[in-house]
Every structure is written in C-alpha cells, then in structure tokens.
Amino acid sequence: MDEITIVDVAPQKVIGKRRKGNYTDLADLIPEVFEYVDTNNIQIQGPPVYLCHETSVDAVEQANTQGTADLEVAIPITGEASGNEEYQCYDIPGGKMAKILHKGPYETVGETYDKLFRWLGQHQYQITGPLREVYISDPSEVAPEELLTEIYAPIA
C-alpha cells in the first residue's frame, strides 16, 4: 500500500461545498453534499473527494487545533448541475500528481501522509495545489481496517 506513483489526472466536473472547521467535520460534510446531489437528481460519476488546502503536516495540525481547516468536499458528476450559495459546480483541475493508497481507518491516514511528504522531499517535488483524498470504500459497508483512500498531491 505504500507505493507512490506519478500519475496524470484528468480534470473532473464536481459539485462541492467548502467551509472552515475541524477535520472531524468531514464526517458531516460528506453526507451533506450527497444529500444535495440526491435532492437535485444529479448524476454521480465517482466516489467523494476531500480537497485539503493545508499542504504541510504543521499547517494541518495548526488549522485543526484552531478550527480553521479549509474543508472542501466534492462529488464527481456528469450532466448538467447547478449550485447555489452553499454548493458549487466546477471542475477540479487535473495534472501531474503523486499518488499513494491508504488502507485502514481514516484516523491513521496521517502515517500515509508522512510517507508521501518524505517521498516528495526526497525526490525534490513541490506541491502545487490542494491535496486530494478519494474515498474508494464506503465506511457503512466496509470495516475500518479495510477502508481504501487514494491520496493525490499535485506536483511540479
């Protein structure tokens, strides 16, 4: 699971919601976006994505402690969709990214990020935008130790 690869990611049309808070708020934010998508009969094209705008371990810890984490959850969609003041329809940019797969509970994802950040430093890559977590498994259907989360870091 620790293998890091370089991939070319295509841009993706999404509907999402962004707000400030603690990372534990993601547990509520994801269902809110799904409810909006369901209520508005929007066609889902893939698993939910969390975009992390804090791009270092120190920044993540500080933002979470202060309750100022920049939380953005998006769901890939197809077809026409419109947003409102809370929910935005937009394209997540694509590009060159480092990818690592995390297997296990969300609470242990920090270890996988540590490996990714060390690898990026060793290979002299710079993070060029928000990191992404793509939630491959549904926690209501899979045991915590079997959850799969893809983590992407846009790089140059």
Q: What CATH code would you report for 5-154?
A: 3.20.80.10
For residue 45, what pLDDT is reported?
96
Residue in 109, 100, 116, 98 with CA at minimum distance from that of residue 145: 109
Task: State the residue for tokens 């402690």.
Answer: 65
For residue 99, what pLDDT is reported?
98
- What are the extents of the domains in the chain? 5-154
Q: CA-CA distance, 57 to 62, in Å (whole number)?
A: 9
Q: Of all helices (H) and strands (E), which one includes residue 95?
A: strand 95-103
Task: State the residue for tokens 């939630």.
Answer: 135
For residue 1, what pLDDT is reported?
56
For residue 112, what pLDDT is reported?
94
Instruction: Rounding to the nearest 10 degrees, give the CA dihedral for residues 103, 155, 20, 12.
Output: -80
Q: CA-CA distance, 115 to 134, in Å (whole number)?
A: 17
Q: Tens digit of pLDDT per residue, the chain (156 long)?
A: 569 999 999 999 999 999 999 999 999 999 999 999 999 999 999 999 999 999 877 888 899 899 999 999 999 999 989 889 999 999 999 999 999 999 999 999 989 999 999 999 999 999 999 999 999 999 999 999 999 999 999 999
Q: CA-CA distance, 122 to 23, in Å (whole number)?
A: 28
